[in-house]
Amino acid sequence: MPELPEVETIRRTLLELVVGKEIKKVSVFWPKIIKKPIEVEQFKDALVNEKITDINRRGKFLIIYTDTFALISHLRMEGKYGLFKEEEPFDKHTHVIFHFTDGTELRYRDVRKFGTMHLFLKGEEHLNLPLSQLGPEPFSQAFTKTYLQEKLLKTERKIKPALLDQTIVTGLGNIYVDEALFRASIHPERKAKSLKDQEIVLLHQEIIQTLSEAVDKGGSTIRSYVNSQGQIGMFQLQLLVYGRNGEECRRCGTLIEKTVVGGRGTHYCPTCQKSSLK
Ligand SMILES: [Zn+2]
């Protein structure tokens, strides 16, 4: 699933590809992706003659702005955007197409069909679900160490599920939570409220640092991610623990273990991330 850095990379790529283009028609082949308005015909009609003016991001959501509207798009597990010429064929996994007046089209492809789109009048997008429930962006001024500490002290949860909660901080997913906890030497099953002051200082730093390294990496190689089919791909930071179960810890050589925390596959080093402080 794309997390903040991947969505940011997609945002920057889309910005170069589609800003300024005018929509002449919208096709929707899988109406359940469109969550608002309820009537898919309204969604399609509203966007005709609209020009794409900007693309923002909030957490893992893309916000595609047109003259009048804000289209909020969440890619969930498998959603992908790509820019194509209209004569190029598309497959059965392409569910939404924004046809532009210049003969190109932005296609949304989603094998699992879990992605969502909400259309709001510009200005209303942040006042309503899904964006209204999101916590601060990790790179924003609101995300301070004190803020994080207050939130963690209030929850009975373990640290990993607390960090996955998008209302506390938005944009972290399974991969970067595992990475940030490793880098801060915190066991994923520690109770969030048990973290010491110094641990929270480090965790706060590592959340920002891990995500910003990943964003920088994506940003620096952005062009290589649009492949010959116009599909925007993913990059990945070199990961220290995620997906490395059974391999040696890059810091101490202990084998990385995998467990399940809050229903999510979780990778950690049993030596660097002690659970004894529970
Ligand atoms: Zn280790």
Q: Percent of the chain beyond pLDDT 70?
A: 92
The residue segments making up the domain with residue 33 are: 4-121
Q: What is the pLDDT of residues 197-226, one digit of tens each?
A: 999 999 999 999 999 988 887 655 444 445
Distances (CA, A) of 207 to 39, 73, 96, 144: 40, 24, 34, 11
In a domain, 170, yes or no: yes
Q: What is the CATH number of the domain that holds 200?
A: 1.10.8.50
In a domain, 133, yes or no: no
Taking a 5 Å cut-off on Cβ, the residues next to ion ligand 1 are: 249, 251-252, 254, 269, 271-272
Residue type, 107: R
Q: What is the whole-number distance in angstroms between the Cα of residue 139 and the centre of ligand 1?
A: 28
Q: What is the whole-number distance in angstroms between the Cα of residue 180 and the centre of ligand 1?
A: 14
Range 121-139 average pLDDT: 96
Contact of 61 with 131, CB cutoff 8 Å: yes
Q: What is the pLDDT of residues 143-171, one digit of tens each?
A: 999 999 999 999 999 999 999 999 999 99
In a domain, 275, yes or no: no
**Rounded distance between C-alpha atoms, residue 53 and residue 14, angstroms:** 11
Q: What is the whole-number distance in angstroms between the Cα of residue 270 and the centre of ligand 1?
A: 7
In a domain, 82, yes or no: yes
In a domain, 263, yes or no: yes
Same structural domain for residues 107 and 156? no
Same structural domain for residues 111 and 201? no
Q: What is the whole-number distance in angstroms between the Cα of residue 138 and the centre of ligand 1?
A: 26
Q: What's the total number of domains in the chain?
A: 2
Same structural domain for residues 159 and 106? no
Q: Percent of the chain beyond pLDDT 90?
A: 82
- Classify each residue of 63-90 as buried b or exposed e, where b means 16 or more C-beta atoms within 10 Å of its C-beta: bbbbeebbbbbbbbeebbbbbbeeeeeb
Annotation marks residue 2 as catalytic: yes
Same structural domain for residues 161 and 228? yes
